[in-house]
Amino acid sequence: MKLIAAVLCLALPSFAAEKAKNWTPPAAKIHAQVMAEEIMAAHPELLSITFHGVPPGLDNVYTMFAGSYLDRIGNPDDPDDIDVITKGITIVDPRWHRTKDPVKKFVMMLPLRDAQGENVGLLVIAYKLPSPSAKSEVEFFAVSSALRDQIAKRIASYADLFKPAAQFKAEK
């Protein structure tokens, strides 16, 4: 009995340390999630891609709403994520000296844009290292910007990202 109590005491802090979700995706897969899956399938050089922003109908609830890490959907955004969304900046993060990263990667955080060129959220693209796509920060910036611009052509409006994938396909 003491052993069970000890195990429970050790396990409970890990649950408490886990971030609470600030958004729950709808039951049906959304268009942004389908896009994330298609991008990952077409780009083997990527480690991950994630979409961030404020879901429609909410105010100041910055969250990851689609991406290759399904368990992270609904996690609150960090301050640097919110900076990209609200200020329209790009963050080039070569992840140097990151001892807690289990996999070497190069991360780009770019404003997500719609087809009209408006900043509507955040796109985080993580590349495997070494990468066949780029070697320098300038090259990662260029290939990431090009990918983001291709994605933008598929976003008629920010609200479209949250439509059920089946509905979105039916409308096109």
pLDDT per position as a tens digit, 62-115: 999 999 999 999 999 999 999 999 999 999 998 877 788 888 899 999 999 999
First to last CA, the chain: 61
> Picking from 68-72, 102-106, 139-143, 158-162, which range would have the lowest pLDDT averaged per residue?
102-106
Nearest CA-CA partner of 53 in 22, 27, 26, 28: 22
For residue 74, what pLDDT is reported? 98
114, 158 Cβ separation under 8 angstroms: yes
For residue 119, what pLDDT is reported? 97
For residue 5, what pLDDT is reported? 42
- pTM as predicted: 0.87
108-135 confidence digits (pLDDT tens) = 999 999 999 999 999 999 999 999 999 9
For residue 18, what pLDDT is reported? 64
Q: Torsion angle, CA of 125/168/41/43, rounded to 10 degrees?
A: -40
In sequence order, what are the beta bridge partners of 112?
121
For residue 97, what pLDDT is reported? 74
Complete domains list, the chain, with CATH: 21-166 (3.30.450.40)
Asked whether residue 17 carries a pLDDT value surpassing 60, the answer given is: no
Asked whether residue 147 carries a pLDDT value surpassing 90, the answer given is: yes
Name the CA radius of gyration of the chain, rounded.
18
* Ramachandran quadrant class, 88 (left: phi over 0; alpha: psi -120 to 50; beta: rest): left
